[in-house]
Structure 1
Amino acid sequence: MIFNRKAFLAAASLPMVLGVAACGGGGEIAVNGDDAPPVGANGSGNIVAISGAGATFPAPLFQRWFDTYNREVNPDVQVSYQSVGSGAGLEQYINGTVDFGASEAPITDSEDRMKSFREAWPFEPIQIPITGGHVSFSYNLPGVGDQELSLDREAYCGIVTGEITNWNDPVFAEANPDIDFPDLDITWVHRSDGSGTTFVFVNHIDTVCDGWEAGVGTSVDWPVGIGGQGNEGVAAGIQQNEGAIGYLSYAYAALNDIPSALVENNAGNFMEPTPENASNALLGEEVPDDFALLVPDPAGEDAYPIVGLVWVMIYQEYESAETWEALRGVFEWALGPEGDALTEELLFVPLPDELVERIIEVFDTVEAG
């Protein structure tokens, strides 16, 4: 199928989001807290507990989805999600210790994870996209406010490869004639854990930066910089160091008021990292049968260039029919109109209706009970 544009409603203001408690370097999202409706208020009182783990990238959206579903749709379904990074989440998925995993990097035949899954299970993994997202260059640069910094490809490639080390380098001046850059060392901040955000980011960097030699993966050997655990750790590294710049899920950066740069795209245009510009990167892209769509350098004139999907990994078979039906209900709701409204509000990219129809067909193949 081909991605088509879906109606997008820009959020007028950034919403308040409940914090994610620290848990093993990431966090855990749990619903049905002290002020939740009493058990059985709108349901049977037979609680179904669902667990997931993985990417920090979609954690703010998952938090809102799962909390809203529990409070407003079915209080008998409780979803907890460990925001531990894609790599750790996929390990838990393969080990069968969670009901679903989440990652911005799909499992492919060439990966060791696919081999590990096949050794552990008598069926193939199921991975379905659940939302789209994009990665920002977010920074802490005195005198430069939100959305004022523009980065051309020479500039950001030089930063990540370590070839450009100070903000007074002339490379920044052409795209930013109104900024008086300080004589300040650049501190590059990157992920230290296995991360789908890293995969999306370096997939783009590997495509456009001639000096990049670390390849593509959820973890790479960075030539320069300091590491942080999860989006949370990278954000902290940026906020605590003047002159720092790093990569974050844009939704995470925006919701935490961390400035993000305009980035030069394939057509030579400087694009704001808005969800609408990110959705432009997916227009006309062919989605393969296994849903493993990668867009390392979209060609559209209005496309933000660092974009990826978030996949959830489910099993072909579940021992409990009750667990699977509850999980399916959550995901179908999240992919529907009410879930889409929250997706847009939190600055992620909803999936088009045609793709959602394909996902529902995959749900029909899962066996349970």
Structure 2
Amino acid sequence: MGVNKILTLGAALVLTAVTTASAASLTGAGSSFVYPLFTKVFSEYGKSGDSVNYQSVGSGAGQNQLKGRVVDFGATDVPIPAADVDGYPGKVLTIPVAMGAVVISYNIPGVDSNLKFNGKVLADIYLGKIKLWNDPALVKLNAGVKLPALPITVAHRSDGSGTTGVFTDYLSKVSSEWKTKVGSATSVQWPTGLGAKGTDGVSGVVKSTPGAIGYIELTYALNNKIDFGLVQNRTGAYIKPTIAGVQSAAANVVIPTSGIISLTNAGGASTYPISTFSYAIFYQDQKYGNRTADQAKALKKMLNYVVTTGQDYSEALYYAPLPSAAQGRARAIIGTMTYGGKSF
């Protein structure tokens, strides 16, 4: 082997060693809603050298793990409640990272995926007031559909869940009775039904239980071949959950400087009414505990990837890519990160 080839090989080995040594390992936890997308995005991102270990434990647990500084970032489908913000040991930033639809899934033998629901009917089902699939209220919405006299088994999340937060936020907007009796939160006192952990758990209950109804993310319904229905929006139209319906919801709101806004029951003739952003949460000042400046830079780099290049993987997994306004807002917020009070 010639001298030049030896030197070239030696340089390559040194470069590989340096790259390996400088590779960062980041951890995150939270939303199961965004888990299928994050799995793909972080797999692709890992090809650059840095790795991201994300645990789908639910939005509530993700918020708690960030609060305890156990993870580099959390993921949640609803923002940290205002009453809880002061309990965090530092200022938390929130950025949109994904958009998707919460669908009304069901298992009714002989009925396909075109069943219609409106806000009042959904609230009454989850309040325990509508108990049978052939209830007059459902029959009226679904003329021509032969609904069986089958008991409705309500499935809901048993863990702290951003998907629950989104669904109950929607119900609180369309039903004053729901707002008064139950309200909106990641965990609520359910009037009826069976609890299951995670979106996988709710999907499992619905798929295995004739007569069941549940609220799950669109990609879980499609991947598990679970029927789901149309939901009436503010204009009176019954809309099937699609990427276009979610994009319409985002197009009809203005994203504030905080990066946080609800998409449920948004305006627009083609808007799917149970649409949502999913968010990443992290500390503005990254100098805490034993964190190094390199860890802070790695987190910043990864977050910028998620809200830009990472959006390219959204549609194939039935998420809606962030619109340019949301991407711009997210990048501006990421840009305010500091380390020891200094920008980096």
Which position in structure 2 is the counterpart of 1:227?
Answer: 195
Q: Which deviations, in whole Å up to 9, do the C-alpha atoms of 1:208-267 show, x marking residues without a partner?
A: 123311011111001111101010111111112100001011122222221111111111
Aligned to 1:328: 300
Cross-structure match for 2:155: 189
Q: Which amino acid aligns with 1:53?
A: A
Q: How many residues align?
A: 319
Q: After the TM superposition, which of the residue ranges 282-291 and 232-241 deviates more from structure 2?
A: 282-291
Q: CA deviation at 1:57?
A: 0.6
Gaps of 5+ in 2: 1-14
Contact 1:266–1:298 (Cα < 8 Å) also in 2: yes
Query: Are the counterparts in 2 of residues 188 and 245 from structure 1 also a CA contact under 8 Å?
Result: yes
Q: CA deviation at 1:328?
A: 2.3
Aligned pair partner of 1:291 in 221, 240, 259: 259
For the pair 1:205 / 2:171, whether they are aligned, the reply is yes
Match of 2:332 in 1: 361
Letter in 2 for 1:140: N
Q: CA deviation at 1:64?
A: 0.4
Moved more, 135-144 or 357-366: 357-366
Which of 81, 98, 102 aligns to 2:71? It is 98
Question: 3-state DSSP class of the match of 2:19?
Answer: coil
**Displacement after TM superposition at 1:132 (Å):** 1.3
Query: Equivalent of 1:342, from 301, 309, 313?
Result: 313
* Map of 1:12 onto structure 2: none
Counterparts of 1:352 and 1:168 in 2: how far apart (Å)? 41
> Cα offset for 1:297?
1.6
Say whether residues 1:66 and 2:42 are aligned partners.
yes
Per the alignment, residue 51 of structure 1 pairs with 27
Matching residue's letter, 2:108: L
Distance in 1, Cα, partners of 2:127 & 2:154: 10
Task: Give the Cα–Cα distance (whole angstroms) in 2 for the partners of residues 114 and 57 of structure 1.
Answer: 22
Counterpart of 1:173 in 2: which secondary structure?
helix
Cα deviation for residue 164 of structure 1 reads: 0.5
Give the structure 2 partner of residue 249 of structure 1. 217
Paired amino acid for 1:295: L
Corresponding letter in the other structure for 1:320: T
For the structure 1 residues 225 and 359, does the alpha-carbon distance in structure 2 shift closer, same or farther, using more than 3 Å as the test?
Answer: same
- Distance in 1, Cα, partners of 2:262 & 2:305: 25
Give the match's secondary structure for 2:250. coil
Contact 2:252 2:267 in 1 (8 A): no
Amino acid in structure 1 at the alignment position of 2:301: G
Instruction: Answer yes or no: is the 8 Å Cα contact 2:116–2:238 preserved in 1.
Output: yes
The residue that corresponds to 2:5 in the other structure is none
1:87 paired residue number: 60
Is the CA contact 1:150–1:176 (under 8 Å) kept in the aligned structure 2?
A: yes
Counterpart AA for 1:198? T
Aligned to 2:7: none
Within the candidate set 267, 271, 296, 2:235 is matched to: 267
1:43–1:253 distance in 2 versus 1, CA, 3 Å: farther
Q: Distance in 2 between matches of 1:290 and 1:140?
A: 39
After TM superposition, list the pairs within 5 Å mapping 1:6-25 onto structure 2: none
Question: Does structure 2 conserve the Cα–Cα contact (< 8 Å) formed by 1:53 and 1:84?
Answer: yes
Residues 256 and 363 of structure 1, relative CA distance in 2, 3 Å threshold: same
How much has 1:45 moved relative to structure 2?
Answer: 1.1
Task: Quote the Cα distance in structure 1 between the aligned partners of 2:18 and 2:135.
Answer: 62
Specify which of 304, 317, 323 is matched with residue 272 of structure 2. 304
Q: Equivalent residue for 1:78? A: 51
The corresponding residue for 1:130 is: 97
Counterpart in 2 of 1:149?
Answer: 115
Shift in Å, 1:142: 0.4
* TM-score, normalisation: structure 1: 0.82
Shift of 1:346: 0.9
Q: Distance in 2 between matches of 1:216 and 1:188?
A: 17
Query: Deviation of residue 108 (structure 1)?
Result: 4.3
C-alpha separation in 2, matches of 1:41 and 1:177: 66
Distance 1:176 1:42, change over 3 A: farther
> Which secondary structure state, in structure 2, belongs to the residue aligned with residue 174 of structure 1?
helix
For the 8 Å contact 1:85–1:193, the answer to whether it is kept is yes
Residues 1:172 and 1:198: Cα distance change in structure 2 (over 3 Å): same
1:41 Cα offset (Å): 6.6
- AA aligned to 1:316 is Q
One-letter amino acid of the structure 1 residue matched with residue 38 of structure 2: F
Q: Is the 1:154–1:171 Cα contact (8 Å) retained in structure 2?
A: no
Q: Residue type of the partner of 1:346?
A: L
Structure 1 residue ranges without an equivalent (≥5): 1-39
- Partner in structure 2 of residue 32 of structure 1: none
Q: Tell me the distance in 1 between the aligned counterparts of 2:17 and 2:250.
A: 39
Letter aligned with residue 306 of structure 2: A
- Cα deviations by residue, 1:30-49 (Å, 9 ceiling, x for unpaired): xxxxxxxxxx8798112311
Distance 2:120 2:255 in 1: 31
Q: Say if 1:104 and 1:310, in contact at 8 Å, map to a contact too.
A: yes
Greater Cα radius of gyration, structure 1 or 2: 2
Give the structure 1 partner of residue 6 of structure 2.
Answer: none
Q: 4+ residue stretches of structure 1 with deviation over 6 A?
A: 40-43
